[in-house]
Chains A and B, each alone.
Chain A
Amino acid sequence: DAKTTQPNSMESNEEEPVHLPCNHSTISGTDYIHWYRQLPSQGPEYVIHGLTSNVNNRMASLAIAEDRKSSTLILHRATLRDAAVYYCILRGNSGGSNYKLTFGKGTLLTVNP
């Protein structure tokens, strides 16, 4: 399975931007980069995904390095509700065994008021 590396924890202040890094040096050409987060006592929820280009949605932005060996999830203005564990996951082509979502340890984001 393709592996990702994330810091164990990060801290931010409310209403400030947060940049969550992820390294994935063994990424293959067909792997998509997915981000999920897990709020306390809830199941994981999808945040964003991308392949090569930077992506924006209502929750966050995803910046992907040109060589695709790293990416950064950007929360533009952190709120207390963004405190969660954030997972960076590589997901392969649909239908095969590498299509599965394999979670690592993720980054625990703490947001200070």
Chain B
Amino acid sequence: DAGVIQSPRHEVTEMGQEVTLRCKPISGHNSLFWYRQTMMRGLELLIYFNNNVPIDDSGMPEDRFSAKMPNASFSTLKIQPSEPRDSAVYFCASSLVREATEAFFGQGTRLTVV
């Protein structure tokens, strides 16, 4: 397996534009996590899905952020409209929903909003 695949790797957009980040989890994994990382706030969990259903979205910063998982092999994180303070590295991770399993992280998407 190629691991967790995120796209794009880098995104530069203007303030006010819509941004969509994509994630393909490892085949067979049924738990998916979206994180945001900045120097100031570290790694923050935004939302996590089990079997395509959002279980905990308490970390989603505001209504401008939305995440979907239409099937087991694809998830998106959308920001609309984007703001400069959304600039960060966004990570996706997947794992099995089972006791004591490890999560595998993608390489991340570096988002810059100007």
Contacts and interface: CB of A to CB of B under 8 A. Distances in A.
Interface size class of A (residues with CB under 8 A): 20 to 34
Interface in A83-113: 87, 91, 93-97, 99-106
B107 A95 contact: no
B97 A100 contact: no
Given A97-B56, A100-B33, A100-B48, A32 B91 contact: no
Interface string B70-101: 00000000000000000000010100011111
B33 A46 contact: no
Interface residues of B, number: 25
Interface string B100-114: 111111111000000
A43 B48 contact: no
B109 to A, nearest CB: 11
A102 B35 CA distance: 10
Nearest to B47: A100
22 contacts: A34-B102, A42-B108, A43-B93, A43-B105, A44-B105, A46-B104, A51-B100, A94-B99, A94-B101, A95-B50, A95-B97, A97-B56, A99-B31, A99-B55, A101-B33, A101-B45, A101-B93, A102-B45, A103-B42, A103-B43, A103-B45, A104-B42
A45 interface: yes
Contacts of A104: 42
